[in-house]
């Protein structure tokens, strides 16, 4: 709102007015362009949602089992029975394990890089972590399958033997990609997201806050606790949610690693059980989408993943907005 755009009281045609007109034209053009971009994004998301729902409904109507609570999955044939309970459990549990591991480590790495590391080390260390994000997910899958599996396996066996009485660690016959193992691989995959975003926000902590804390006699750790962490909290939360979205939807690496369960396997809470995630189930079976109803069943599963990710992101938004209100 510059003064040049205000009409002059005398009404004289001046240069400033001409400049104002062209300014308005640019203004309109730019606001129009951004509005269109915004509408396109909303439009795409809405269309994806509409597509998923439209494709899923006919299959859901023919479903003979409860879609949300059944563990069966036989979407083909004349009497399809399918439910997503198992995929939901595997997807959410493995992602939560990934979060539990990646967020503390990621925040730790970000604090080290921004607060503790000597200046010469900061850039290289940050780049190195970012490099993790550049590794294609298929490589994580291969590495997990061929190398990392053997490293984690003894640890899993130890937990099953010593803590098998605890339902989450109950022994299972699964030898390959357990939910626990997938969680660990996902943690490594989302670590760079958490680290990079947290690093950015920690770096933005006003020097006055930090100096103030130090001047009041705080130690380095107390300074971080009282000024850096509270300031960075919304950023860390949004970083975590972005990472969670990635973990929920990760496809190829998980498809490589998961051990599917045979139909009729008894239910267990164990993290050492197998199971497929939404994304891996869909990816693994995409070649056999032989009829619309079967396809619809998979699309319905995809819809649940879509909604799940949507809810996670909405919660993150709400949390961040609330935090903002507090800090201002």
User: Which residues form the interface with other proteins (CB under 8 A)?
Assistant: 74, 76-78, 145-146, 149-150, 173-176, 255-256, 258-263, 265, 274, 276, 280, 284-285, 287-291, 293-294
User: How near is the Cβ of 274 to other proteins at its closest, in Å?
Assistant: 6
User: How near is the Cβ of 259 to other proteins at its closest, in Å?
Assistant: 4
User: How near is the Cβ of 291 to other proteins at its closest, in Å?
Assistant: 5
Distance CA 294, CA 176 (A): 28
Distances (CA, A) of 207 to 227, 233, 325: 10, 17, 21
Cβ distance to other proteins smaller for residue 235 or 302: 302
Phi, psi of 217 (to 5 degrees): 95, 10
Cβ distance to other proteins smaller for residue 109 or 258: 258
The candidate with the shortest Cα–Cα distance to 258, out of 86, 102, 52, is 86
Cβ distance to other proteins smaller for residue 11 or 263: 263
User: How near is the Cβ of 318 to other proteins at its closest, in Å?
Assistant: 37
First vs last Cα of the chain: how many Å apart? Answer: 25
Element (H, E) at 73: strand 73-74
29 C-beta neighbours (distance < 10 Å), count: 10
User: At 63, is the secondary structure helix, strand, or coil?
Assistant: coil
Cβ distance to other proteins smaller for residue 42 or 146: 146
User: How near is the Cβ of 178 to other proteins at its closest, in Å?
Assistant: 10
Computed on alpha carbons and rounded to an integer, the radius of gyration of the chain in Å comes to 26
Contact call for residues 246 and 277 (beta carbons, < 8 A): no
Cβ distance to other proteins smaller for residue 253 or 303: 253
């Amino acid at each position: 709102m510059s003064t040049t755009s205000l009409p002059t009281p005398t009404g004289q045609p001046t240069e400033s007015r001409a400049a104002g007109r062209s300014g308005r034209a640019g203004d309109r053009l730019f606001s129009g362009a951004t509005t269109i971009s915004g509408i396109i994004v909303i439009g795409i998301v809405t269309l994806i949602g509409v597509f998923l729902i439209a494709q899923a409904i006919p299959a859901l109507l023919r479903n003979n089992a409860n879609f949300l609570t059944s563990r069966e999955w036989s979407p083909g044939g004349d009497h399809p029975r399918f439910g997503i309970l198992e995929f939901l459990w595997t997807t959410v549990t493995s992602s939560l394990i990934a979060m539990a591991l990646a967020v503390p480590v990621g925040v730790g790495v970000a604090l080290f890089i921004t607060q503790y590391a000597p200046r010469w080390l900061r850039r290289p260390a940050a780049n190195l972590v970012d490099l993790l994000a550049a590794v294609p997910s298929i490589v994580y899958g291969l590495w997990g399958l061929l190398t990392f599996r053997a490293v984690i396996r003894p640890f899993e066996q130890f937990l099953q033997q010593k803590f098998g009485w605890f339902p989450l660690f109950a022994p299972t016959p699964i030898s390959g990609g357990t939910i626990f193992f997938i969680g660990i691989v996902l943690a490594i995959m989302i670590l760079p997201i958490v680290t990079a975003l947290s690093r950015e926000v920690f770096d933005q902590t006003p020097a006055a806050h930090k100096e103030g804390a130090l001047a009041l006699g705080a130690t380095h750790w107390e300074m971080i606790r009282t000024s850096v962490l509270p300031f960075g909290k919304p950023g860390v939360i949004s970083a975590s949610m972005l990472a969670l979205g990635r973990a929920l939807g990760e496809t190829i690496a998980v498809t490589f690693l998961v051990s599917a369960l045979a139909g009729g396997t008894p239910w267990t809470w164990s993290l050492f059980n197998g199971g497929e995630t939404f994304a891996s189930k869909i990816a693994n079976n995409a070649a056999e989408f032989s009829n619309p109803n079967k396809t619809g069943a998979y699309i319905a599963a995809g819809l649940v993943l879509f909604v799940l990710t949507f809810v996670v992101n909405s919660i993150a938004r709400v949390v961040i907005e609330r935090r903002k209100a507090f800090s201002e």
